[in-house]
Amino acid sequence: MMPTATERFRISDLELEAHRFGNDPTGPKLIVLGAVHGNEVCGNLAIRQILTALNSGDILVRRGSVTFVPVANPLAWKQRSREGQRNLNRRLQPTDHPVEFEDHVANWLCPLLARHDVLLDLHSFHTPGEPFVMLGPDDNDGPLEPFTRSAEERAMARHLGIHRFVDGWLDTYARGVARRRTGDAGADPGYGIGTTEYMRSVGGYGVTVECGQHDDAAAVDVARRCILNTLAFLGLTDGAAPKPVDRIEHLRLVDVVDRHDEGDLFMHHWDSFDALRAGESIGTRADGTPVTAPHDGLILFPNPDAAAGREWFYLADRISAAL
Query: Exposed e or buried b for every residue in 35-64, given b needs 16+ CB within 10 A?
Result: bbbbbbbbbbbbbebbbebbeeeebebeeb
Long-range interactions of 59-62: CB distance < 8 A, separation 24+: 59/1, 59/228, 59/231, 59/237, 60/1, 60/237, 60/238, 61/1, 61/21, 61/22, 61/231, 61/236, 61/237, 62/22, 62/24, 62/236, 62/237, 62/238
pLDDT at 201: 97
CA–CA gap between residue 142 and residue 200 (Å, rounded):
13
The strand order across the sheet containing 281-284 reads 265-266, 281-284, 290-292
* pLDDT band (50, 70, 90) for residue 183: very low
> What's the first-to-final CA gap in the chain, in angstroms?
36
pLDDT in tens, 10-34: 999 999 999 999 999 989 999 999 9
- Give 249's strand partners: 164
Question: In the chain, which ranges are continuous DSSP H helix?
Answer: 42-56, 74-79, 101-114, 150-158, 169-179, 195-201, 217-233
> Does residue 273 contact residue 131 with C-beta atoms inside 8 Å?
no
> What is the mean predicted confidence (pLDDT) over 101-108?
98
pLDDT at 296: 97
pLDDT in tens, 117-152: 999 999 998 878 899 999 999 999 999 899 999 999
The strand order across the sheet containing 249-259 reads 5-11, 14-21, 65-69, 29-33, 118-125, 205-213, 132-134, 164-167, 249-259, 310-319, 297-300, 274-276
pLDDT at 179: 72
Query: Exposed e or buried b for every residue in 232-260, given b needs 16+ CB within 10 A?
Result: bbbebbeeeebeebeeebbbbbbbbbbbb
Is the model's pLDDT at 193 over the cut of 80?
A: yes
CA–CA gap between residue 304 and residue 298 (Å, rounded):
17
* pLDDT band (50, 70, 90) for residue 185: very low
CA–CA gap between residue 121 and residue 127 (Å, rounded):
19
> Does residue 137 contact residue 201 with C-beta atoms inside 8 Å?
no
β pairing state of 164-167 and 249-259: parallel
pLDDT in tens, 267-302: 999 999 999 999 999 999 999 999 999 999 999 989
pLDDT in tens, 251-274: 999 999 999 999 999 999 999 999
